[in-house]
Chain A
Amino acid sequence: MSAEAHYTRYHPQWYRRRVSVWWWLQSWRYTKFVLRELTSVFVAFFAVITLWQLRALVDGPQAYTQFVRGLKSSPLVAVHGVAFLFVLFHSISWFHLAPKAMVMRLRGKRVPDWVIVGLNYFAWLIASGTIAWLLLRG
């Protein structure tokens, strides 16, 4: 309902507060939420880098060595460090939110939240382990 009421003797005059652009600084919990949303920029950043890396790989060994050399420049390493922290924050906060969205029932009982969070960590561990194994073997 957005009809504006006008003040008459029998109709109250409402006062509406405008939400400030800085609403997310009003409490730490809102700030944390906005930070969490911002982390997706860094997730996208990693996705783009990976695509780029694939393209370099397709372009042949020379292009790839050049790409890898580019990655070693110190500003890029710093950016990666920051991005990594944000992505870590992103994953952890979403793992902990997962049980809210996923209600699983086993024999009529709701599966407790920690189990669902635990399963997420477990899957993460397995995925990271597999990748580490693929990269580091031999």
Chain B
Amino acid sequence: MGSREKLPPTVTLAVTRYRPEEESEPTLQTYEAPYRKDWVVLDALNYIKDKVDGSLSFRWSCRMGVCGSCGMMVNGEPKLTCAAFLSDYLPGPIRVEPLQFFPIVRDLVVDMTDFLHKLKKVKPWVVREEERPLSEGEYRQTPEQLDIYKQFSMCINCMLCYAACPIYGLEPGFVGPAAIALAQRYNLDSRDIGAQERLDILSGKDGIWECTFVGECTKVCPKNVDPAGAIQQYKLTGAAHWFKSVLLPWGRK
């Protein structure tokens, strides 16, 4: 911990620029931003956009770790830039790049269509055969039933886990950590009956078996969702299901 007087007055950020109408490849541009003890990388980016270079593009919204839109690579690691304090990266320069493995649209903005597409495929909603009429009241759950899936429901779709996953980089078809964790969130919900429908996607060619348990998704997740855990747990379920359907004639459904 440096003493207060020794704090650097500014910090250097090396930021990825990509302007498709001007250049065919991303380049790095360095900016200076004032250093403040309570500033995060996103504050510095906003300072740059406001005071230095209005053409710099990046996504953000809540600046409090809730919306999941400010994910970028900070010094090579996927981070929510609204939660990455400048003080943790001193003396700098701090490298800020768009999330790895996603196509870059412009500067720090990546295209997330692929993720949204996959998310939809695993049906991340409560599947019911038939909705109960409103007059019958709400669907009740005990605290224990809630506890079983709660951790997986904390996901904010920030895609940091995809940027941490080398498998996703190598096999872009892989359904990926967050989508599987969210599928598991609904599979484990006592009100849901969609597990069978999700099984085809999850245990298919691009599903859980692509995962070799690198474990990085869990390490970078800002919400402690533990997608790696969700996938391994699902592997057990998937394997049990497979054994049942192959070995027991009456196990087929």
Partners in one complex: yes
Chain A residues in the interface with B (C-beta under 8 A): 1-2, 7, 12-17, 19, 23-24, 26-27, 29-30, 33, 37, 97, 100-103, 108, 110
Residues of chain A within 8 A (CB-CB) of B25 are 15
Q: Smallest CB-CB separation from B77: which chain A residue?
A: A27
Most chain A beta carbons < 10 A, residue from B117, B147, B166, B170 = B166
* Contact B101–A27 (Cβ < 8 Å): no
Query: How many chain B residues touch A (Cβ–Cβ < 8 Å)?
Result: 37
Q: Given A1-B113, A33-B215, A102-B236, are A13 and B20 neighbors across the interface (CB < 8 Å)?
A: yes
Any A CB within 8 A of the CB of B232: yes
Q: Given A15-B26, A100-B228, are A29 and B105 neighbors across the interface (CB < 8 Å)?
A: no
* Contact A24–B166 (Cβ < 8 Å): yes
* Contact A23–B226 (Cβ < 8 Å): no
* Contact B226–A100 (Cβ < 8 Å): yes
Contact of A1 among B100, B114, B214 (CB under 8 A): B114
- Main SS of the interface on chain B? mixed
Inter-chain CA distance A108–B142, complex, in Å, is 11
Residues of chain A within 8 A (CB-CB) of B233 are 100-103
Contact of B212 among A2, A26, A37, A103 (CB under 8 A): A37
Residues of chain A within 8 A (CB-CB) of B113 are 1
Question: Which 4 A/B pairs are nearest by Cβ-Cβ distance?
Answer: A101-B232, A14-B103, A13-B20, A19-B169
Inter-chain CA distance A5–B212, complex, in Å, is 31
Chain B residues in the interface with A (C-beta under 8 A): 18, 20, 24-26, 76, 100-101, 103-106, 111, 113-114, 117, 144, 147, 166, 169-170, 172-173, 212-216, 218-219, 226, 228-229, 232-233, 235-236
Inter-chain CA distance A97–B214, complex, in Å, is 10
* Contact B144–A15 (Cβ < 8 Å): no
Q: Smallest CB-CB separation from B169: which chain A residue?
A: A19
Residues of chain B within 8 A (CB-CB) of A108 are 144, 147
Residues of chain A within 8 A (CB-CB) of B26 are 15
Residues of chain B within 8 A (CB-CB) of A33 are 166, 212, 214-216
Inter-chain CA distance A24–B166, complex, in Å, is 8
Could you show 28 A-B contacts with beta carbons less than 8 Å apart?
A12-B106, A12-B111, A14-B103, A15-B18, A15-B26, A15-B103, A15-B104, A17-B100, A17-B101, A19-B166, A24-B166, A29-B216, A30-B216, A33-B216, A37-B212, A97-B215, A97-B232, A100-B213, A100-B215, A100-B226, A100-B232, A100-B233, A101-B232, A102-B233, A102-B236, A103-B229, A108-B147, A110-B147
Q: Given A13-B20, A29-B216, are A101 and B106 neighbors across the interface (CB < 8 Å)?
A: no
